[in-house]
Each structure stands twice: as C-alpha cells, then as structure tokens.
Amino acid sequence: MPLSLRLRFGSTCHYTTDTVRRLNTRLNALAHANAAPGTPGPADSSLGGWTVAVKSNIATATAPTSCASQSLENYRSPFTATAVAALEQAGARVIGTTNMDEFGMGSKNQFGIYGPALNPHGSDADRSPGGSSGGSAAAVAAGMCRLALGSDTGGSVRLPAAWCGVVGFKPSYGRVSRCGLVAYGSSLDAVGFLARTAVDVQTAYRVAATPDPRDMTCMSQSLRARIDKLVNSRPWLATTKPVGDMPLRGVRIGVPREFWVDELSVPALAAWKQGAARLAAAGCEIVNVSLPHIPHTLPAYYTLALAEASSNLARYDGIRFGTRASGLPSEAASLANASLKYANTRTHGLGSEVRRRILLGTYVMSAHACRHYYLPSQRIRRLIQREFNAVFALPHALCESSTVVEERSGVDALLFPTATDTAPLQHEADACPVSSYVNDVMTVPANLAGIPAISVPAACHDGLPLGLQLAAQYGDDELLLQIASVLETVDR
C-alpha cells in the first residue's frame, strides 16, 4: 500500500450526524453543522450519496456565510454559490460550513471567531491543519465528509491538504465560477476541492466546472472549446499509449530548481525526490527546468493580494455589509464626523490579522507606494506568467493564436513540494506576524499565473503528512488530475 493511502484515516468515512459532531468536538473543523442535511440524490447520479462541507466564505442556503468574521457572524446569503448549487443538483448534500481564517487571511486556521481548527494527525500534540481552508481539510481527513470546498487565493486549499494528508486542487482561474465566493483577491481567488483521492476531486470538479453568466471572470464556452482543441492536439500524447505499469508513458515532468529554498526541510526534500522517482517509474520523463523569478513571487503576491483585499473589504462598514458596532459616538458627533462610524465598526468587526492586511494593502495603493511596490509587483506577475508559458509544452490559450500544437518544446507538468515542512503546532508563536507568510512560498506562483495546481499526499514524517504539488498549463486541468491520480497510487 502506498504512503498516500497509509496517511489517511483508514478507508471508512463517518457520515452520520452524531459521529460528525463527536469528531468536531475535538477538531473544531465545522463552523456550523446542519441539523438536518438535505436529502441525498439518487444513487445513480454522479454525486449521489456524497456528503460535502463548504468553507464559510462560500454562500449556502443552510448556514451563515460568516467568513469566520464577527462583522458577518449572522449574515445569511440570499442565494447559493454556483459551485455549491452544481454539486447539490448532482446529488450531493451539504452537511455544514467549515472553520477558516477570517476572510481567508492566514496559513494556520487560527484567525477567526470560531477558534483554531486542529489537524486530525496531531495525536501527540495539537497541530495546525493549515489555512485558510483548514477546517475543510481537517473534515475530509477525519472522515467527516467525502468532499469539501475551499477557496484558494495563495495556496489556501493546497497547504491544508498537504498538512492533513488529503488531495487539494486549485483549478485554472475561471474554470469554476466564483459567484457566491466572498472576494479576498479577485484576480487570484479560486474555488478549490478537497477529498481523499484525486478521482473524487476529478468527479466533483467536472460537475462544478461549467460556464456561469453571473461571473464575468468565469471561462466562456467558446474559451473552453478552444482549450479542449489545444489539449487534444498534442501529438506526443495522442500517439504514445500507456504500457502495462507505465500509465504515464510519454508525459514529461519538469522539476524547477528554484523551489529548492533554504526553508525546505530534509523530509520535504526526500519526499520530492521520491515523488520524481515514482513518476519516472510510471513512465514519465523527468527533466530539470528553471523559473528564475520564482524567488520574487512571495513579495509580489502579498503586495497584489493585500491591495485587492483593501478594496474588496471596504464594503464591510456596518452600512452596506457587516454588523454595526454598538457604543458609537453620539448622533451629533457622528454627523459631524461620519468616519467615526466606519472606524468603530471596522475596529470591532474585523480581527487583528485582517486589519493588518487592510492597512498594508491601503498603503501599497497610495500614490507614492503604488509606483514603488504595486506596479513592480504587476510586472513580476507578468514575468512569472511568461516563464510558465516558456516551460510548458502546451501554449497558453489566451496568449497564442494557434489552436494546434505541432511539436513539444517543454514539459507537460511541474513537480515540487507543497510545503517546506510538516504541520507546525497550532499554538506555536511565530517570530513576527509576517513570518507566517513564508508558509505560502511554494503555492503562490500558481495563483499569480492563474494555472491549475494540485497537492497530493506523498510521504509521512514522524506521523505527519507531507504533500507534493503538481502544476500544469492554464486550462490543462484534466491532465493534471490524471497525473495526480497515478502519483497517489503508483505503489499500489
């Protein structure tokens, strides 16, 4: 049995309401558990009988869309997110909403009104499940549900998946509608999927990945058709057939050297090498590649993400959205200085980490800082996108006019670690608030480029999971899921 299967809590999932509540008492993975989950769909439907947990920043009709924030603690959305509705129509039933970092801002699932969530693998001590979709990853890992939805702005699905020993997938930007997802960084956000196997993730993804006229950033049907034509025109995959125990014969995997960072632990490096060897055994050709601007992605990401967050979160002022704080100044004073209303409400309604990021984002968008931080970060983002385009054999559907691939000059996917180490202690203090941002060093490049990426359980160190990450060209989600399914089962 491969390590990816030994990491999981057996083969049995606990879907009964009583068992879910008992597990949640220990893990605090669910923010709200539905008292009477919806009736499961027919067994012959694609998701018939599946139980799904939804991150608290994705709109549902059965629980508050709180984003783990005091400002939205009692907010109920008047509509259901497109991705959730698609899963329900396919037969899945929502069991509740999951714990998270407030507004998706955090890497350890500790910034939120529901308190910290815990990793099911932390038997000897309370370990972090990762963030910000830590509740979703913990629920899947503990067997509380078969599938969970999360949001991924800079790795918020893949990092928790790696630390909890499950599969976490961020589709290409625009593949899955963001309608109903509360915005953090609008040009970076994606609805992601967490499950125990890549096959389950692929099944749910195919249900949810449809055009949506309510989301202008969602891929149109014509763009999806163009991508399909590109993907199906690769001669090296069309003419190379799998042979025996080499199901990925003809696939070329790149190993980018820039991800060998100083923070990478010895166990994570060993898992990376083992993963490359396992893919080679499955028929892949392993080659070294270079992405020179990867070291600049983390500061560029946080500059852009926080700038967008400061704009997106301006609506939570107690007037348009959010609960207005009590103890406001007198009516006369508030009329004289209306900003006091906003300041008091946002001070009480938003947590310390969210306020920190709003302040930083507001600063980098100021006239002086914009020239020195925001605009250079946008240039770095464009360079990163071009470097990914240069290493992938498949052309970028939005950048190339050709719809036929004639010859291969690059790789089909990239392999690198999801996290620099195993899950840390939940209550372990960071040296400074900004030091926790380093957890995202492996995951943010995919969000900046808008490409699909997936984390697969790869190894185990001292009883704690380690994940490996695969990334592919924009729109090449299906090949990525195929490779991931082989990677997690190649030792079987």
Residues serving a catalytic function are 55, 132, 156
> 252: which 2 tokens?
């070329």
Yes or no: say if 426 and 451 are a contact pair by the CB < 8 Å rule. no
Give dist(CA 301, CA 298) in Å, integer.
5
CA dihedral 193, 446, 304, 352 (to 10 degrees): 40
Give dist(CA 303, CA 328) in Å, integer.
33
Q: What is the DSSP string of 343-377?
A: HHHHHHHS-HHHHHHHHHHHHHTSHHHIIIIIHHH
Give the three-state DSSP class for 173: coil
- The Cα angle at residue 297 between residues 67 and 434, in degrees rounded to 5: 55
Instruction: Name all contacts of 10-13 with Cβ < 8 Å and 24+ positions apart.
Output: 10/143, 12/143, 13/51, 13/143, 13/144, 13/145, 13/146, 13/196
Give dist(CA 20, CA 69) in Å, integer.
23
Which amino acid is residue 50, in one-letter code? W
Q: What is the DSSP string of 201-254?
A: HHHHHHHH----TT-TTSPPHHHHHHHHHHHTT-HHHHSPPPBTTBTTTT-EEE
- The Cα angle at residue 385 between residues 383 and 391, in degrees rounded to 5: 100
Yes or no: say if 34 and 25 are a contact pair by the CB < 8 Å rule. no
- Give which of 286, 292, 284 is closest to 257, Cα–Cα: 292
Task: Return the residue matching tokens 């893949």.
Answer: 158
